[in-house]
Amino acid sequence: MPHTWGATRDAWAHWSTTLGLTEDLLPVVSNPHAEISPDSKLVMLGKVPSDYNFRRQVRGLPGWTQRTPGQREIDGWAQEPDYGICLQTRNVKALDIDIANPRLAKREHTHIESLQPWHVFPARTRPDSGKCLLLFKGPLPTKRVIPVEGGIIEWLSTGQQCVVEGTHPGGQRYTWAAGRPNGIEE
């Protein structure tokens, strides 16, 4: 059985079928030991939409912002244990708390949630960092970057993406603080 660097088949089914996000999902090669194709412009694995070419080398997905996959593509990607799940932020937006210090990151996370006390943000984390990704639905016309103590908070909107399942390039798996979301609130 190969090591699963990416998302499980259950994870693909959850994001695609349960959450209804099929058209917003793309693969991202999460295996930190994979070889980048010399023909690719990729400089780092595990951060942008990517897949394997016929030589099993990683390449970026050209035109990914225009892609709207169907269930057949999702089913194919779910067969590859190195493919994590990349979410295009078209219907679901994200706040990326890009602060490594866990104390400072938690302070910003708490502050954001205090501004929306009726809203529970699904929160993606990883064990070796304070960095956190919060998902929500709603209007957000463009990407914004807010400098804060210890880092930045990025508002990811249409034309951006985030990784929701798989392994971070540093080797730690992404996790969801309260388990995978069963829904994403407006």
- Dump pLDDT digits (tens) for 27-53: 999 999 999 999 999 999 999 999 999
What is the average pLDDT value for the chain, to the nearest integer?
92
Q: Alpha-carbon distance 114 to 112, whole Å? A: 5
Average pLDDT, integer, range 128-151? 87
**CA nearest neighbour of 31 among 14, 51, 13:** 51
Model pLDDT for residues 75-89, shown as the tens digit of each residue: 999 999 999 999 999
More confident residue, 4 or 174: 174
Q: Alpha-carbon distance 107 to 173, whole Å? A: 23
Helix extents (H) in 68-157: 71-78, 102-115
Confidence of residue 166 (pLDDT cuts 50, 70, 90): very high
**Could you tell me the pTM of the whole model?**
0.93
> What's residue 112's pLDDT?
87
Which tokens is 39 given? Answer: 């023909």
Which tokens is 76 given? Answer: 């194919």
What percentage of the chain has pLDDT greater than the value 70?
A: 97
**CA nearest neighbour of 21 among 85, 98, 101, 79:** 85
118 burial class (0-12, 13-18, 19+ CB within 10 angstroms)?
exposed
Average pLDDT, integer, range 91-95? 92
